[in-house]
Structure 1
């Protein structure tokens, strides 16, 4: 076990930007206005379970298709790049399923919190950080998700639409920088793996 505060902080920031629970407040409020009841604890626990399951079983699943972590991390970097563009430029590239049925689980837990972006990010982070640090960062994020879901109306009043807008742009830029770093570091890993074969 190699606890590292810097790794926890870095992983936390990336996951916070990807999950973007503050940016999802308008969606959550809209679901509530439609008469959907959202159980904050249920949504948080289901999301955490899905993400942890994918975190531990994602790599063996990838190996079945002959894909290594570095290659997946590069693919993940492109997904994060697209998500960063969404947040910075206010465009919609990914289609989000906003089905009102069972709002605590669908669409809150999945795919709003535990979605394609979160899955990709978790496996991409495994190429960079120790697992224990990523798990701690994930749990901290889920705690924040719970608190936001529990106090959605109050958070919206405190932050305001302008505050939510600024947070989206700020974390979008952080996500963009992280995606570039992830791409470059894992590209270097792949090149170093293939160089001996090319020389041979």
Structure 2
């Protein structure tokens, strides 16, 4: 019961927006369309569910892995902030993030991983844990999973309606938002890290 008492729609929305910007499923529409043309069909349900489960699992298992190797959450969050910062720069400068890979089926690979639940997304998911409650991050993941499913289903329609130019503009806008979030994540966790050392 206490777990659900921590639900905050403000935190959920922030987590949703951060993950939405990192996943960049709208910006990935051209890749999705290309995969659909190559394989004939995209298994939207399977890809979305697997991607969501990977992110949620890493949210819990990731912390145990860090504890095992002796890295605190604040330090990992700072490292994650650097990764998010680089991804944001790639989005703003128009450099393509390495998302595509050789695959035999357009479902779990390469859509669920690494297109949706890639290294940047998993790092971000765990980094959010340093600032937000787990239930709000999970809700943010679920909302993104639903959005990913919808986009996978209507990707050709989105590309036709928005056009390549609009998709690029949207990608740059979210890149700027992501850049600001990475700086906030860095400053907040760096301050906490310094404070912990001072108290130590």
TM-score, reference length from structure 2: 0.94
Ranges in structure 1 where 5+ consecutive residues have no aligned partner: none
The structure 1 residue matched to 2:105, chosen from 85, 98, 102, is 102
How many residue pairs are counted as aligned between the two chains? 196
Aligned equivalents of 1:170, 1:190: Cα separation in 2: 30
Q: Residue 73 of structure 2 aligns with which residue?
A: 69
Q: 1:165, CA displacement in angstroms?
A: 0.9
- Contact kept in structure 2, 1:15 and 1:118, CA below 8 Å: yes
Q: Residue 181 of structure 1 aligns with which residue?
A: 184
Where 1:37 maps in the other structure, the secondary structure is coil
Where 1:98 maps in the other structure, the secondary structure is coil
Q: Residue 80 of structure 1 aligns with which residue?
A: 84
TM-score, reference length from structure 1: 0.94
Moved more, 32-41 or 42-51: 32-41
Aligned equivalents of 1:78, 1:167: Cα separation in 2: 22
Aligned equivalents of 1:143, 1:69: Cα separation in 2: 28
The structure 2 residue matched to 1:165, chosen from 165, 168, 173, is 168
The structure 2 residue matched to 1:192, chosen from 191, 195, 199, is 195
Please say if 1:123 is aligned against 2:126: yes
Ranges in structure 2 where 5+ consecutive residues have no aligned partner: none
- Contact kept in structure 2, 1:73 and 1:127, CA below 8 Å: yes
Q: 1:97, CA displacement in angstroms?
A: 4.2
Please say if 1:89 is aligned against 2:96: no
Q: 1:36, CA displacement in angstroms?
A: 4.4
Moved more, 157-166 or 94-103: 94-103
Aligned equivalents of 1:81, 1:75: Cα separation in 2: 10
Q: 1:5, CA displacement in angstroms?
A: 1.4
CA RMSD of aligned residues (A): 1.1
